Amino acid sequence: MTPVLSVRNVSKSFGGLKAVDDVSFDVHQGEILGLIGPNGSGKSTLFNCVLGQLPASTGTVLVDGQEVAGKRPCDLNKLGVGRTFQMLQVFPEMTVLDNIILAGQEHKGTMLSRLFGKADAGLTEEALRMIEFFRLGHQTHEKAGSLSYGQQKLLDAAMAFMAGPKLVMLDEPAGGVNLTMLADLKERLKAFNQERGATFVVIEHNMEFVMSLCTRIIVLANGRIIAEGDPETVRNDPTVIEAYLGG
């Protein structure tokens, strides 16, 4: 079966600094892959190369076997690649419902149908289902800016999933979230994966969150993959321990 995402020999240099050095991996349907590493390991640069926000110096990125080098993030969205950001991308003066409808609109129909069709592009029903799935139903008509930070993280995730993407890239979803909301977020992500077969790639500094969420983990250090495997294998790998604690 063709991987949902294939990264092949990707490198990225900034002048004389090679931030990502010949990295290759596949992500398969229904997998939750964690991408971790100490500060400066190159994981954010790699993430942005995969998403087209930085051009790779060498190598290729394929989605469902189709090369996506040079494609804009909006083009990747149309191919079924969604993402969340370290910095929240919600619109604070809009309601929770309107945020989620807006997130789905660019994937619904043509420009002509959006101009002359329903104001919500027929997305309200699906948006309400997404709101309930992420347990934000009691805040449906509240402004997003009035939500707690953890609730805004849930909203951000709901917006990323609104278009039904085949692959979602999650950029530090646990950052700044309290333990209660973090447990909710993890439980909802697992449920979405199990119920809808969604595929995730997660960059995260919170090791416990990654270890309890992901089915496979890749560890970067100095721009290269130094370990790969299930959470328990990675947790006990001496090379990983050294990378985090020894240097």
Q: Give pLDDT tens digits for 197-236.
A: 889 999 988 888 999 999 999 999 999 999 999 999 999 9
Residue owning tokens 């496979």: 216
The pTM assigned to this predicted structure is: 0.85
Q: What is the pLDDT of residue 216?
A: 96
Residues 36-57, mean pLDDT to the nearest whole number: 90
Residue owning tokens 């990707």: 10
**Which strands, in side-by-side order, build the sheet including 216-221?**
81-83, 167-171, 199-203, 32-36, 216-221, 224-229
Query: For residue 148, is pLDDT > 50?
Result: yes
Residue 134 CA to residue 191 CA, distance in Å, equals: 10
Residues 90-96, mean pLDDT to the nearest whole number: 92
**If you ran DSSP here, which 8-state letter would residue 143 be given?**
B
Fold classification of 5-246 is: Rossmann fold (3.40.50)
Residue 161 CA to residue 80 CA, distance in Å, equals: 10
Inter-CA distances, 147 with 48, 84, 150, Å? 28, 17, 8
Residue 220 CA to residue 40 CA, distance in Å, equals: 9
Contact 218, 33 (CB under 8 A): yes
Residue 208 CA to residue 20 CA, distance in Å, equals: 25
